[in-house]
Structure 1
Amino acid sequence: MSFRESLGPIFSKLPAVTGPEGHVHFKSKLWWTLAILLLYFALRNVPLFGLSPESIDLFEAYRAFFAGAHGSLLLLGIGPIVTASIVLQLLVGADVIKLDLSDPADQAFFQGAQKFLVFVMIVLETLPQIWGGFLLPDPGLAQALGVSLGVITWMIFIQVCIGGVLILFMDEIVSKWGIGSGVGLFIVAEVSQQIITGLINWRPDQVGLPIGVIPKWIHILQNTHLLEFSLDGIMFIMITGGILALITTVGIFLLVVYAESSRIEIPLAHSAARGARGRFPVKLIYASVLPMIFVRALQANIQIIGMLLDSRGITFLGEFVGSTPVSGLMYYLSPIHSPYDWVPSLVAESFAGMGVAAPATWQIGLHVLIDATILIVGGAIFAIFWVETTGMGAKQTSQKIFNSGMQIPGFRRNIGSIEKVMGRYIPKVTVIGGAFVGLLTLIASLLGTIGEAGGMGLLLAVSILYRLYEDIASEQMMEMHPMLRSFFGGEK
């Protein structure tokens, strides 16, 4: 028996959300999506019982797109799902696991393997945080209950794992019964909350100014001595005052909407119904921005390894202050989040606040160059993996078009002819789009955004919202014209 044949029965017995037997009406999908969204907000506000306030958030810099909340039941967020996808896509892409994802049997095996890996990653992402001393039990609670700290630690471990499993099944419910994907929905919810908080939060920051842009400017206008028109004053107004972040947020929103609407349209005609024509759009961001999660998640996992080693006194990869790398390889591989990570004077200010020496200017420049390379090259590579593993490649797309009864005018009606035309556009657009998304992420990260969403989080949220709008429009169209569901692979 082969390795795959031995694992197949195990994967098929994993717990799963039962899919609908027939077509789910648009209103039902909308209600399921809204219900899961409300459940997500409720669960992220359920605190972990027994967790000490002194615990450290390993994912602090990645919360916007990991869609979790420190100290809550959803501490892991979508991290295990994303990490499992990275591992499996790399294994399939490198032909370590040989799968033909156009084959339904191989698709089922891939989905089963992915779910199994998610369960594994839930445990693997929880245990190091406990062993590394990042998730600490509350001694006061242990004393009050008359139990050891080990018992409280196990309770924390179980709660975090339950939260990870809940996120997995919530994502599955949205995918099967709702609109879009749960992963995308949770990211939009998290980023939207952070942007709103970044606009109206009146609590003071480290320099005594309100965190939110609106109350911050009310405070600045009430204290006109802060409006100093010198070089330092202008930098204060643009960066600390949030003007640059506001401009970047609006600019990225418009750029992503423009990029999402940019496409090459390949003409199609129905082979049986004379005069029935259509177009297949190949968007500039063909692979969507979701592959960029894999890039940042890969960086996050590398940083976690460095933090765990540093917590044990092993510092050859670099040293950390809290969850921030301040030296070594980990510093260069850490993502850029705002001007405080690359403007020399602001970097010096940040490092002084942590009580460590700031890096030299050339080190800051190298840090930016490495992050730019990771984003642009990584974006292109993971976009290719994403397209091939989600059935969006030239071969799979050609098969869907052929099965729907459509053909490309001027070409013979066979899969080979359709694939030849699709092969001219899809691979090239995938690479260009992936690199373009990486560049947009870099620009947004360098300039900063409103709230703690970060360039990556904002980019994801805008793109996911745009595609969610398209999914809703598509669902409504298929509700009015049931025959269209056969083209998109839905139930009749």
Structure 2
Amino acid sequence: MASRFISALAGFAKFLPAASKPSQKPSLREKFAWTGLALLAFLVMASTPLYGIPSQISNQFNIQNLIFASRQGTLMQLGIGPIVTAGMIMQILVGSKILDVDLSDTQGRIDFTEAQKSFAVIFTFIEAAAYVGAGIFGSLTLPQEVLVFLQLVFATLLVILLDEMLQKGWGIGSGISLFILAGVAFQVVNAAFSFQPYNTGVKPVYAYGAIIAAIQAALNGHFLSSIIRYPAVAGSIPPPDLVGLVATIAFVLILAYMQGMKVEIPVVYQKAQGYKSKIPLQFLYVSNVPVLLAGILFSDYIFFTQIIWSRFDPNNNVWYLNFLGTYTRTASGIQPSGGIAWYLQNPGGLGATIEQPIRSLVFVALLIVLSVMFSYMWVEIAGLGPRDQAEQLSASGLQIAGFRSSVGIIEAVLRKPIYALTFLSALAAGLIAGVADLLGAYGTGIGLLLAVSITYQIYQILVQEQIEELYPGIARLLE
């Protein structure tokens, strides 16, 4: 039954537009060109406002904008949301064996990829309809709703094609990683250097960007006011400040250092006359997936309760819906103002953190707890558990130095370091992401986690590409 479901989705993908594989492997220069073209298309769409809506492009960013590389009020309103959501659901269904797919088989991998693409297209239509139907863009006429719906669908389908193009070998990495990195970089630059005025109702009016505002404040003799800044409307996200700048630099350095931390397991290769080596287990063993899943959960909760609020409780006077979340419309968009949703959105800066200590502590605690919970789930689903790793080592002819080659023994030896790294990496990632948010780090804590991880992955890809171009013989061995 499950395999028929995958086959049906894979069959549907044959009727969708698709990017073809290159007939021969592009050079590194050509890959840079195609990657730059995809990035340019994304940035243009992220700067193009949706035609037919009364609201303006927001200068503020939240978890949803970050994870899904989206920007409110533009063609990138959905961003990579449908791709990420479809991918996560498919990974969980396959990893938990609900869907029976053999990913070690070439055809199985092709069917899975095609099914995932079809699922992403289906989610595109669902999310576009949800945004329009929920009244996120204000009061629209029926023709306006149809027009906005079509814009969202076509723009997101183009993003799916761009991601497919890069993954099929035309570019470097994947579209998802590239667009997330671009979104985080845009947020960081915008937070530091935006000249757009940020009106707090008190003169003089300084720029939104922290560095520009600090220069303006210094020229007016009020430099200290730029160190910690407060929101124009109580409860909304405050503008970037210098504390956030220092936090951003500090956490990027910490995360870059953590990328190189690892635990080495000594192994012996019996087929090579007992050749000894070491297998590294990264300290960030589960990478940023658990904290990303926690962020997606926060984001989806806010998204759906926002829809419920806009339809059934716009005046915040239905008590049982107020428990789920209350919202207010501000110049920077719809913001949580109470209920559970209030605690799932970070305060956004040190000033707001000091003013709302309970909210801040609850936010960080929830982020850490959910990250740890998701980490154990992801280890089993993604095949990173001790049993899966032991089977892979045994199949490769490797065994732990000083122990017999039995799968059960290898599993017992690996259980302690793997589960310890699972807990510690999720705890560290959740804590760093949460504290970075409380200090107002640019791009948010989860964004910095993603950006550093993606940058490291791209660096590794570039090193491999350079080696393959310089030494073609190695490229043939890697195929």
Same fold judged by TM-score > 0.5? Answer: yes
Percent identity for Structure 1 against Structure 2: 28
For residues 157-236 of structure 1, what are the structure 2 equivalents within 5 Å?
A: 157-177=149-169, 178-207=171-200, 208-224=205-221, 226-227=222-223
Deviation at 1:379, TM superposition (A): 1.8
CA contact 2:259–2:282 (8 Å) conserved in 1: yes
Residues 404 and 486 in structure 1, CA contact (< 8 A), matched pair in contact too: no
- Mapping of residues 289-304 of structure 1, within 5 Å: 289-304=288-303
* Preserved contact between residue 291 and residue 379 of structure 1 (Cα < 8 Å): yes
Aligned-partner SS, 1:49: coil
Deviation at 1:18, TM superposition (A): 4.0
| Aligned mates of 2:371, 2:262 — CA distance in 1 | 19
Moved more, 265-274 or 428-437: 265-274
Which of 27, 51, 54 is the aligned partner of 2:53?
51
With the length of structure 1 as denominator, give the TM-score of the two structures. 0.79
Secondary structure at 2:447 match in 1: helix
**Which among 339, 348, 355 is matched to residue 350 of structure 2?**
339
Displacement of 1:198: 2.0
Offset from partner CA, 1:189-223 (integer Å, 9 cap, x none):
11112211222222321231122232222212211
Corresponding residue number in structure 2 for 1:144 = none
1:305 partner letter:
F
Which ranges in structure 2 are unaligned for 5 or more consecutive residues? Answer: 231-237
SS in 2 for 1:82: helix
Measure the CA separation in 1 of the matches of 2:258 and 2:66: 22
Distance 1:379 1:486, change over 3 A: farther
Q: Is the 8 A contact 1:93 1:385 kept in 2?
A: no
Structure 1 position 440, deviation (Å): 0.5
Letter in 1 for 2:196: R
Answering whether residue 267 of structure 2 is matched by residue 244 of structure 1, we say no
Q: Summarize the alignment of residues 5-404 of structure 1 with structure 2, pairs less than 5 Å apart.
A: 5-14=4-13, 15=16, 16-19=18-21, 25-53=27-55, 60=62, 62-92=64-94, 96-97=98-99, 107-108=109-110, 110-136=112-138, 149-177=141-169, 178-207=171-200, 208-224=205-221, 226-227=222-223, 242-268=241-267, 278-314=277-313, 315=318, 316=321, 317-322=324-329, 323-344=334-355, 365=358, 367-390=359-382, 392-394=384-386, 397=389
2:235 is aligned to none
Alpha carbons 1:67, 1:190 under 8 Å: kept? yes
Separation in structure 2 between the aligned mates of residue 417 and residue 25 of structure 1, nearest angstrom: 45
The answer to which of 81-90 and 203-212 deviates more is 81-90
More RCO (CA 8 Å, sep 6+): 1
The alpha-carbon deviation at position 254 of structure 1 amounts to 1.0
Q: Secondary structure in 2 aligned to 1:320?
A: strand
Q: Distance in 2 between matches of 1:439 and 1:30?
A: 35
TM-score, normalising length: structure 2 = 0.80
Deviates more, 1:473-482 or 1:410-419: 410-419
TM-superposed deviation, 1:252: 0.4
Secondary structure of the corresponding residue to residue 264 of structure 1 = strand
Paired residues, what number?
452
| Counterpart residue identity of residue 284, structure 1 | F
Instruction: Give yes or no for contact 1:478–1:485 (8 Å, CA) kept in 2.
Output: yes
- Does the aligned pair in 1 maintain the 2:52–2:144 contact within 8 Å? yes
From 424, 445, 461, the counterpart of 2:451: 461
Separation in 2 of the partners of 1:410 and 1:35? Answer: 53
In structure 2, relative to structure 1, the CA distance for the partners of 1:54 and 1:258 (3 Å cut) is closer
| RMSD of equivalent CA atoms | 3.6
Structure 2 CA distance for aligned equivalents of residues 19 and 391 of structure 1: 29
For residue 173 of structure 2, what is the amino acid of its counterpart? G
Q: Indicate if the aligned counterparts of 1:50 and 1:137 stay in contact, CA closer than 8 A.
A: no
Instruction: Write the deviation string for residues 62-111 of structure 1: whole angstroms up to 9, x where unpaired.
Output: 32332122232222111122222343445456654466656666655544
Structure 1 unaligned blocks of 5 or more: 139-148, 348-363
For 2:44 and 2:444, the matched residues in 1 are separated by 24
Query: What is aligned with 1:146?
Result: none
Matched-pair contact (CA < 8 Å) for 1:43–1:74: yes
Change (3 A) 1:377 1:220: same
For 1:282 and 1:193, locate their aligned partners in 2 and report how far apart those are by CA, in whole Å. 32
C-alpha contact 2:54 2:138 (8 A) present in aligned 1: yes
**What is the distance in 2 between the residues matched to 1:211 and 1:56?**
12
Whole-angstrom CA distance in 1 between matches of 2:372 and 2:404: 32
The offset of 1:445, in angstroms, is 0.6
In the alignment, residue 114 of structure 1 is paired with which amino acid? Q
